[in-house]
Structure 1
Amino acid sequence: QLPWVEEDPKEILQTVFDCMEKACEKLKQQKINLGLLKAIGISNQRETTIIWDKTTGEPLYNAILWLDVRTQSTVEQLIKKIPGKNKNYLQEKTGLPLSTYFSAVKLRWILDNVPGVKVAVKEGRALFGTVDTWLIWCLTGGQNNGVHCTDVTNASRTMLFNINTLEWDPELCEYGTGCFLLCNTGKKPIISKHGLLTTVAYQMGKKEPVFYALEGSVAIGGLLIRWLRDNLRIISTASEIEKFAASVGSSYGCYFVPAFSGLYAPYWDASARGIICGITQFTNRNHIAFAALEAVCFQSRELLDAMNEDSGIKMSTLKVDGGMTNSNVLMQLQADILSIPVVKPSLIETSSLGAAMAAGAAEGIGVWNLHPDNLAVFRWQQFEPQIQPIGQIQ
């Protein structure tokens, strides 16, 4: 079904096993003793929701991904129960608006619609978690006393966690049963007034301070390129969009709003739908390809403007990672639209790198520390703005 986005939790687990096996093979090829491994770091989709039977180890339903919008009616029903029908009612506690994006409403849907889950909950067999929880439980023994846990960064995206007390909130738990841009805001949470999320950025140990962030969530980034390839079929490979966009250098008035699953930050409108406009008889796939890249950049610009307003600090650079950063056309376009430098690392999978670095720096591991001086070894490529905003032209 169109608004449903699911994945088999066992397939997620198997891909992790495959990844670990390949990583170990690479280490052996480099003559590195596997006995020297000290820790494993996990980087995951935080809002994706999984529920499973702890006695059998079997998932009770597919993982419902963050992009899934089937719970829109659940959100609307919950908003009706709130004084003033204010969807930001829970924001002071959670930093989040009521939205299909987060785990609590996905869990509510599973409880209401999947036969057998309520029975498993009543009998104490059901375990709930985000992807990190599922993986940790499986990797530490599963049915044989596997560890059922999470961390504050994942918990803060369930809509059941109080980001001020850093504890599960009894009121929220009871209520729940009835391309991403982050700005580190330091040790105090800033509640957004411009449609952003307030979230936990990281905590390097139970005795270490918690750092918070403002986050802007865009539903469709890299998925837009996949849509052009698999649905519209104007490209045959993801890398072709770079060539097509570069061949025209402009969308020539063609605009793309990729609201395939509604609009996330800063609008939070689940009913919004995608549109391509400004098409003329001269528009071709090259212009649509360029418009698609522009769409990602324009969404990032909206989020950056909101962060500047909420934080009171004008951002001077944007550091990027992920598969879309392979496109130099996109990186230059992003710098031009933001009017600030865009900095891309030589190793673009920095989520995985960050998880490994955090694991090595964790309490009781201490292989290294994450002092900024130790990060100077990373290589970066910087894209400078090449156009001047109209308001600044003399």
Structure 2
Amino acid sequence: MAKAKYVLALDQGTTGTHVSILDTRLQVVGRSYKELPQHFPKPSWVEHDLIDIWNTSEWCIARALKDAGLTGRDIAVVGITNQRETTGLWDRETSEPLARAIVWQDRRTADICQRLKAQGVEPRVREVTGLVLDPYFSGTKLTWLFQHLKGAKKRAERGDVCFGTMDSWLVHKLTGGVAHVTDVSNASRTLLMDLRTLNWDDELCSLLGVPRACLPEIRGNAEVYGTTRGMRSLPDGILVAGMAGDQQAALFGQACFEPGESKCTYGTGAFLLMNTGTQPVRSTAGLLTTVAWKLGNTTNYALEGSSFIAGAAVQWLRDGLKVIKKAPDVEALAASVKDSGDVVFVPALAGLGAPHWRPEARGLFAGIDRSTTVAHLARATLEGVALQIHDLAEAMRKDSGRNIPVFKADGGAAANNLLMQYQADLLGVPVVRPRNLETTSLGAAFLGGLGAGVWTSPDAIRRAWKADKTFKPKMKPEVRARHLEKWKQAVSRA
């Protein structure tokens, strides 16, 4: 184990970057956060600037060290977690981006997905990757970039261009351009990796027009990928070890180590994952089969249901409709009315994900009349987030053959008591919120510490996990049935 005693978790998310510094008891001693600029050049297009992502990360690292009263030399290891599927290309030698990154929410490749479906290849794609053909994933984003960036594909074929999801970009920058790697959890979201072999699949690379030479090396989730080099905020030589996509990191941070254990993260989107053990479970209900993590020679898989819009709906109320000044204000506004007044909101602001997979769907308020106020809209928005998760949970029960006896919730929106209570009412099972809502960062820190030898087994994270509050279901069955029927009708019209 390194002499330094602290682990730095770099959590690069869709709307901003978090950095947490934890001690060996997994207690947070310093943290920082900075919002990330969003770019919407056309309807349904969402982009990030890779340089913004790196500059924001460096700023947050420096600020978290200051908050903890530490220097960079006190850090033993950096662990990484990231928004998944977001797709970037950069010059291998200079690290200059070729274009803005295409964010996971972006829907510009819907036509590409439709053409591939028309060719009849989706069953094969699903068999190999566990995914569906949807603009959500990285593969068709890469297809689009190589079609639209002049000369990029030839450069990629020569190996002069690097493709990466944000884990790869961060490791590249942390190591001064030395390492070009990804981990199995992020690679499993690209439409390019074989779930069983954990290798890039030549057939799918050819189908999507992606040169193998631009792809990163696929690694496990608790390994040393390199050391820091040339950074403003950290000295050279600190281990970079341990990374996972944000939802897999949250599953790890929620101590869901046994088959059947599940969590839901309420972030920009909402994501429900169930650990299915060492064998992938194929979905018949519109869910995804994905890699949870690989530790040593053991790979764990998960079933996943993804709702593209959760906290982003509250951001839209704040920034688009301007009905609230700060995101946390939504709870008080929603609680100022006893119910939504029969208003139903379908949060299809970026299409509908699992189990519907309708990229053409658009957001919808139904049931508005002259009595409707902004408070009803706010409450319906929160309820729409929870109703999406109910659909995912039902699909997961069907696919796994397991009930979810307790529902672990995390992410920023899990702090909303009204949302958590309504979720428990819809599911009919207790919703448990942990004391540390930043379980994504916790998972990244722990994977980094495992990779660097700070910890030797997952037992420490089990001991560190503590519940904050349990929300028990209160809604009568007939009321629940009425809410679900109104939701079903609204979704059919979105």
Matches within 5 A, 1:375-386: 375-376=463-464, 378-386=466-474
Root-mean-square deviation over aligned CA pairs = 1.8
- State the SS of the aligned residue for 1:3: coil
Aligned equivalent of 1:5, options 35, 41, 46: 46
Shift of 1:140: 0.6
**Aligned partners of 2:183, 2:319: CA distance in 1, in Å?**
36
**Aligned partners of 1:157, 1:373: CA distance in 2, in Å?**
26
CA contact 2:86–2:165 (8 Å) conserved in 1: yes
CA offsets, 1:173-196, max 9 Å, x none?
111218111011111100100000
| Residue equivalent to 2:150 | 115
| Residue equivalent to 2:448 | 359
- State the SS of the aligned residue for 1:161: coil
**Aligned partners of 2:323, 2:123: CA distance in 1, in Å?**
40
Letter in 2 for 1:90: V
| Residue equivalent to 2:34 | none
**2:284 maps to 1:193:** yes
Shift of 1:244: 1.3
| Residue equivalent to 2:332 | 243
**Aligned partners of 1:372, 1:139: CA distance in 2, in Å?**
27
- State the SS of the aligned residue for 2:81: coil
**2:422 maps to 1:333:** yes
Shift of 1:323: 1.1
| Residue equivalent to 1:165 | 197
CA offsets, 1:141-160, max 9 Å, x none?
11xxx100011000000000
**2:167 maps to 1:132:** yes
Number of residue-to-residue matches in the alignment: 381
Moved more, 243-252 or 2-11: 243-252
**Aligned partners of 2:410, 2:56: CA distance in 1, in Å?**
21
- State the SS of the aligned residue for 2:348: coil
Shift of 1:59: 0.3
**2:65 maps to 1:24:** yes
Aligned equivalent of 2:79, options 17, 37, 41: 41
TM normalised by structure 1 equals: 0.93
**Aligned partners of 2:435, 2:465: CA distance in 1, in Å?**
11
Letter in 2 for 1:97: V
**2:314 maps to 1:282:** no
Letter in 2 for 1:313: R
- State the SS of the aligned residue for 2:191: coil
**2:171 maps to 1:80:** no
| Residue equivalent to 1:266 | 355
| Residue equivalent to 1:214 | 303
CA contact 1:53–1:120 (8 Å) conserved in 2: no
**Aligned partners of 1:124, 1:150: CA distance in 2, in Å?**
16
Shift of 1:392: 10
Shift of 1:80: 1.7
CA contact 2:49–2:100 (8 Å) conserved in 1: yes
| Residue equivalent to 1:155 | 187
Shift of 1:118: 2.3
- State the SS of the aligned residue for 2:276: strand
Shift of 1:371: 1.9
**Aligned partners of 1:71, 1:181: CA distance in 2, in Å?**
24
- State the SS of the aligned residue for 1:301: helix
**2:411 maps to 1:322:** yes
Shift of 1:131: 0.3
Shift of 1:202: 1.0
**2:207 maps to 1:175:** yes
Query: Which protein, 1 or 2, shows the higher relative CO under an 8 Å CA cutoff with sep ≥ 6?
Result: 2
Shift of 1:60: 0.4
Shift of 1:376: 4.7
- State the SS of the aligned residue for 1:215: strand
| Residue equivalent to 2:18 | none
Q: Per the alignment, do residues 160 and 335 of structure 1 end up closer, same or farther by CA in structure 2, a change over 3 Å counting?
A: same
| Residue equivalent to 2:96 | 58
Q: Per the alignment, do residues 366 and 236 of structure 1 end up closer, same or farther by CA in structure 2, a change over 3 Å counting?
A: closer
| Residue equivalent to 1:388 | 476
Shift of 1:270: 0.8
Shift of 1:172: 1.2
CA contact 2:308–2:352 (8 Å) conserved in 1: yes
Shift of 1:380: 2.5
TM normalised by structure 2 equals: 0.74
**Aligned partners of 1:258, 1:141: CA distance in 2, in Å?**
40
CA contact 1:204–1:358 (8 Å) conserved in 2: no
**Aligned partners of 1:136, 1:377: CA distance in 2, in Å?**
28
**Aligned partners of 1:257, 1:268: CA distance in 2, in Å?**
14
**Aligned partners of 2:408, 2:458: CA distance in 1, in Å?**
18
Moved more, 377-386 or 37-46: 377-386
Letter in 1 for 2:287: L
CA offsets, 1:369-394, max 9 Å, x none?
2127743553421111112323999x
CA contact 2:434–2:465 (8 Å) conserved in 1: no
| Residue equivalent to 2:275 | 184
CA offsets, 1:122-170, max 9 Å, x none?
442101010000110111111xxx1000110000000000011111111
Q: Per the alignment, do residues 349 and 98 of structure 1 end up closer, same or farther by CA in structure 2, a change over 3 Å counting?
A: same
Letter in 1 for 2:199: E
Moved more, 382-391 or 165-174: 382-391
Moved more, 67-76 or 239-248: 239-248
- State the SS of the aligned residue for 2:349: coil
**2:345 maps to 1:256:** yes
**Aligned partners of 1:341, 1:193: CA distance in 2, in Å?**
26
Letter in 1 for 2:46: V
